Amino acid sequence: MYLPSLFTFANTIHTWTPTQNLAAGTTSRSSPDACNDINRCRTLFQILSSCISVLIACIWVSVHPNVPSRNDSLWVTSRRKAGLMLVTLLAPEIMILWAVRQWFASRELYKMYKDKGWTRTHASFALMGGFALYNGDEFVSILRHAQPPDAAPGTLLAHHVYVIGRIREAELSDRSRSDSFSKLVVVSQTTWFVVQLLARWANKLPITLLEVMTVAFAAMNIIIYIL
């Protein structure tokens, strides 16, 4: 679990340097008078704020909830995404397994319907509940790969594969694309954080355990985002 690491800071900060024996579990504590010039030292607030901001940014970009129902309110969709973000923070390995499962499911769906004009984007969008059946302007149901017992007739994806295959991939990508600017901000922030950490490591300066954990967490979220 990663969350307890956020609360291990009291009056001192546990640090490690590249020359320490990590296998032996040795750590060094910063002495009260180790830094007398605030302009040359990092404060506890600076370390916490940079790590927490990177954590939140990575989680926000990597979590991709299913397409919300047309009856879901903003509160419901926000609560659902907040729950997924909390799970990602507490147990990112669960989210990786979920993402891998979705990846394999979309691959199988693509293999089934690729001769009907489907792409991996079509398959992923279908698994997220992105295709719906309408009777004129009246909403009928979300098209599912497996039909629930109480579903209306004709709501299986298999009944509409040719129609879905005629939808251009660019249209689906445009609808599922997140804000490019927010992604750029997250990538820039994470890259700068890693560069700073590498610079401290190269100069044999102390690095907090929280910063090491944040880099590992960001790497796991990159895997989730790619999947």
Mind giving me the DSSP string for 82-147?
Answer: HHHHHHHHH-HHHHHHHHHHHHHHHHHHHHHHGGGT--HHHHHHHHTT--EEEETTEEEEE-BSS-
Asked, for residue 124, whether it belongs to a domain, the answer is yes
Average pLDDT, the chain: 75
- Check residue 19 and give its pLDDT: 43
Domain-embedded: residue 39: no
- Say whether pLDDT at 99 is over 50: yes
Domain count, the chain: 1
Alpha-carbon distance of 141 to 157, in angstroms, equals: 11
Q: CA 125, CA 121: separation in Å to the nearest integer? A: 6
List, for residues 187-226, the tens digit of each pLDDT value: 888 888 989 899 988 988 888 889 998 988 888 877 777 7
Going from the C-alpha of 44 to that of each of 5, 50, 69, the distances in angstroms are 14, 10, 43
Contact 140, 133 (CB under 8 A): yes
| Inside any domain, residue 30 | no
Angle of the 44-62 helix axis to the 209-226 helix axis, nearest 10: 10
Task: Note whether residue 29 is domain-resident.
Answer: no
Q: Has residue 6 got a pLDDT over 50? A: no
Task: Please report the pLDDT score of residue 27 as a whole number.
Answer: 41
In a domain, 120, yes or no: yes
Q: At what angle do helices 92-113 and 120-127 cross, to 10 degrees?
A: 120
Residue 72 lies in a domain: yes
134 in any annotated domain: yes
Tokens, residue 208: 């907090």
> With left for phi above 0 and alpha for psi between -120 and 50, is residue 159 left, alpha or beta?
alpha
Joined tokens for residue 76: 């419901």
The reported pLDDT for the residue numbered 176 is 55
The tens digit of pLDDT for each residue in 132-191 reads 888 777 877 778 776 665 555 566 777 888 888 888 888 777 765 556 667 777 888 888
pTM above 0.85, yes or no: no
Helix, strand, coil distribution of the chain in percent, nearest 5? 60, 10, 35
- Domain ranges, residue 182: 3-13+44-226
Radius of gyration of the chain, Cα coordinates, nearest whole angstrom: 23
**Above 70 in pLDDT, residue 8?**
no
